[in-house]
Amino acid sequence: MLSTAIENPEARPPSGPVTVNAGSTAEGETTGFEPKMSARGVNFYYGPKRALKDISLDLPPRMVTAIIGPSGCGKSTFIRLLNRMNDLVPDARLEGEILLDGFDINRPACDAADLRKRVGMVFQKPNPFPKTIFENVAYGPEVNGLRDRLALEERVENSLRRAALWDEVKDRLRESALGLSGGQQQRLCIARCLAVEPEVLLFDEPCASLDPISTAKIEELILDLRRQYTIAIVTHNMQQAARVSDRTAFFLMGEIIEVGPTGRIFKAPRDRRTEDYITGRFG
């Protein structure tokens, strides 16, 4: 376990109300804010295999937390625990706590569907429904009880605008979403996610299958969304982590090796393994 000094030189001032000096991570490093989400001593097992080892990590509000690490290090497994997508995995077992606004999301009273409305997820490969563009974005609000046509249309338009896709699709809302390009599909998935009005956004390698231009658009979008949402992004791409995130956690073989402000992690990693990874010596 690393012991790091209190430091927070690079985080921007938050745009909303915060509790100063309230949150502190397992590393003893204060982020300055009550974390929106936090993992406490999380172990996760696929059958007998331990995929995550004693993970403690905070997601401070209105910041982007990047999770980097080589393939198979458990970063996707971890992010999928934050909205309980791993509930579907047979023979999996979780130890430890994952808190959203201080409440354990795995407590019996917490319904997975309700949780996922608050904690949205964008996946590695764009996965639009085989439906029209409109239906894709309207799906979440509809499932969650929004029936009024006008309100629904407004929600769809706002979400598409928020995802910087509106101008490209406003004349083809009734066409199949599968006719969009990969980058557009991924922005549609983001719009679909925003339409449910979540509080936390999880991105699981959102640009893994996109070209550089589409990637740039998604990154710009994430930087823009940061002002309103708490964001976690898993990425293979260290430049991406450096570009979009406020804080970075380095995962290796199911463990957190180092976590801290992104600038510090990249400029002055404290652990040899972090340095090796970000300088491209392995992974």
Does residue 189 bind other proteins (CB under 8 A)? Answer: yes
What are the φ/ψ torsions at residue 18 (nearest 5 degrees)? -140, 160
Site membership for other proteins, residue 85 (CB under 8 A): yes
Nearer to other proteins, 194 or 249 (CB): 194
SS3 content of the chain, % helix, strand, coil (to 5): 35, 25, 40
Q: Report the alpha-carbon distance of residue 76 to residue 55 in Å, rounded.
A: 13
Choose one: 127-135, 229-237, 243-251, 273-281; the region binding other proteins (CB under 8 A): 127-135
Of 37, 57, 59, 196, which one interacts with other proteins (CB under 8 A)?
A: 196
- Where do the DSSP E strands lie in 47-190? 49-59, 64-68, 92-100, 103-104, 119-122
Give me 6's structure tokens. 């209190």
Task: Report the run of H or E that residue 91 belongs to, with start and end.
Answer: none
Among 53, 117, 161, 236, binds other proteins (CB under 8 A): 117
Six-digit token string for 87:
């509930």
Q: Which of 178, 208, 216, 223 contacts other proteins by CB under 8 A? A: 178
Find, among 269, 267, 268, the residue nearest to 258 by Cα.
269
Query: Judged by CB under 8 A, which of 60, 69, 128, 261 binds other proteins?
Result: 128
Window 129 to 148, contacts with other proteins (CB under 8 A): 129-132, 139-140, 143-144
- Name the site residues for other proteins (rule: CB under 8 A): 83, 85, 88, 112-114, 116-117, 120-121, 123, 125, 127-132, 139-140, 143-144, 176, 178-179, 189, 192-193, 196
